Structure 1
């Protein structure tokens, strides 16, 4: 199969989350009062605990004498608060059948036809239900989800023509399994599917999520990537993210959690966990790409065939290709 003829090809993302702002509250008063969480700066004296070089093993006492001084950001609830509140919005957009940039008219026609056929047959139902499940199960809390006593997610539709809302007990919603979804999850999924399929222009959701983690406990905003590796002792070794002095989570991190729906990669039976939708199935914290180009199961190998009206081997490959297009990106063939 020849590669796609379009050298300029880009798709805008169709799931657009906002940053998530973090507040402290109590479980009993979670619906009525909350206060923005501020970052706190700490200076800590640690010990040398990294692996030593062979030449340094005899000098461990001298190493231990040198204190490991660090200045770090932290964030915690107050002694009166036991619950973390996370607030963000999610906009779902239509128009996945139209690239935002494409310099080859013939390709554009075959691609549009392929997506139209997919929508006619599958209506984005499977993909949208998985997005809805990840909203309901609170996976976007990431580390804050671990060890919490209670977890609740409230979702409101903000479109003017709808008053839909749902409340989920997130600990009852599995983060690893997309079968046996509740009626509320599939109802929300149907709204997402109708938007992705083009029946509605957009869908705007507001998410308020609550995790009972315990009084005074640490909570975990996003950590900033420090590109300036200045070794000065006055530089902070950990910088947390905030929006106007309110602790926050990156929109990219929230989006990554929502699109962690790929159970169609070959090693799923061994790994047992869904991975985020990515052209090569990349999981950076494991240093692995689960969709290898050599095996022709990566996005580009499948997309080259799908976009030129060639039938893929199974419906799971079609779901994967469409989920990457919803994610968006630049996919042109370099010349």
Structure 2
């Protein structure tokens, strides 16, 4: 049956609607440079003694009587992991690889669990196919690609290391092409205007990958940071989430666990337990690269981009900025047949497809919205 996409929007998304992430991103290992070469930044497990600073209820008289009575220890004894460079450190180096995949291959599944709703899934497939065809030739896709390029060359993906650096150089290679950004700290973080030629060229390469044009070229990125200090210095990689109830069982009361890669052939330092090489996990790199949603309604006030998320979730501000159905990916995908890829809504939809994820409406929710349940 031929689907006419020029009709009213869908009332509900299919119960199963999922998209693959439109990029391949590698982990980003941390290294440090010395006069004698480049070495992995080790993750060191060690003990530390801090102080108790949890905001707890005080006694009836408003004082901390429990401390004086010995019921609460002032000390906070912990086992933690830290990422530290070696004594001869001159600079910090972080690298990762990125590759754009065709938008046309982004859909993983689109179906309804109930046979009577099968037509909705068929219409959704047709709407997606039409939108992607229009997006492939749109200036909206070019803009989204250039925004990713800006977040590559401004070093947003370095996270806290960027904030403590005196200077950041970034080198990007793809095939036989090379780009050098000598002062990444001067590339804008909070807006996406006035792109440099470097950003345009890297963006065009990404856009070609999203269109499925030619070879799937990998983009290799290296950042070299001058931290303004030499010697053994703490740097910052991804941190693991450790549920409280798993610490004593699995990690020996480890209070802070860092993401790390295996270091092959690396000798243990005397008296120090080295448990791996510090790294950013791929998800943290990708979160930074897709932090370019300036199309949400509060941007004019907040003046800060947020990551492309279905409901505009921002961990830094602990809020959802697209909680309204009309502005969320869930709401916009229902009317893709009415959305111009060059519009702000269209560019957000393109970016959401590249982000990937699960967007379906459950059958229970469908029943409620259609009046099938009390």
CA distance in 2, matches of 1:3, 1:33: 61
CA distance in 2, matches of 1:111, 1:147: 43
2:173 and 2:221 in contact (8 A); partners too: yes
CA distance in 1, matches of 2:108, 2:247: 43
1:207 aligns with 2:221: yes
Which SS does the other structure have where 1:144 is aligned?
helix
Structure with higher Rg: it is 2
**Cα shift at 1:284:** 2.4
CA distance in 1, matches of 2:196, 2:291: 19
CA distance in 2, matches of 1:318, 1:110: 13
- Tell me: CA distance 1:123–1:191, structure 2 relative to 1, closer, same or farther (3 Å): farther
1:133 aligns with 2:150: yes
- Tell me: CA distance 1:248–1:231, structure 2 relative to 1, closer, same or farther (3 Å): closer
TM-score by length of 2: 0.81
1:247 to 278, 283, 295: 278
Output aligned runs, 1:1-335, within 5 Å. Answer: 1-4=9-12, 6-26=14-34, 33-55=37-59, 57-61=64-68, 62=70, 65-96=73-104, 99-103=107-111, 104-122=121-139, 124-157=141-174, 162-168=175-181, 169-200=183-214, 202-213=216-227, 214-215=229-230, 216-227=232-243, 229-230=245-246, 232=248, 234-244=252-262, 245-294=276-325, 296-306=326-336, 309-311=337-339, 315-335=343-363
CA distance in 2, matches of 1:20, 1:114: 33
CA distance in 2, matches of 1:123, 1:311: 12
Q: Deviations over 1:81-135 (max 9, x none)?
A: 1311112111211134652222333321222112212222326110000000000
**Cα shift at 1:203:** 2.7
CA distance in 2, matches of 1:88, 1:313: 30
- Tell me: CA distance 1:262–1:63, structure 2 relative to 1, closer, same or farther (3 Å): farther
4+ residue stretches of structure 1 with deviation over 6 A? none
Specify every segment of 5 or more residues in structure 2 that has no aligned partner in the other structure, as ranges: 1-8, 112-120, 263-275, 364-374
Root-mean-square deviation (CA, aligned residues, Å) is 2.2
Q: Deviations over 1:182-207 (max 9, x none)?
A: 10111110111111122235231111
CA distance in 2, matches of 1:252, 1:123: 24
CA distance in 2, matches of 1:313, 1:120: 9
CA distance in 1, matches of 2:99, 2:24: 5
Q: Deviations over 1:235-264 (max 9, x none)?
A: 110111111021111110000000001011
CA distance in 2, matches of 1:174, 1:108: 38
Specify every segment of 5 or more residues in structure 1 that has no aligned partner in the other structure, as ranges: none
CA distance in 2, matches of 1:230, 1:329: 28
1:123 and 1:197 in contact (8 A); partners too: no
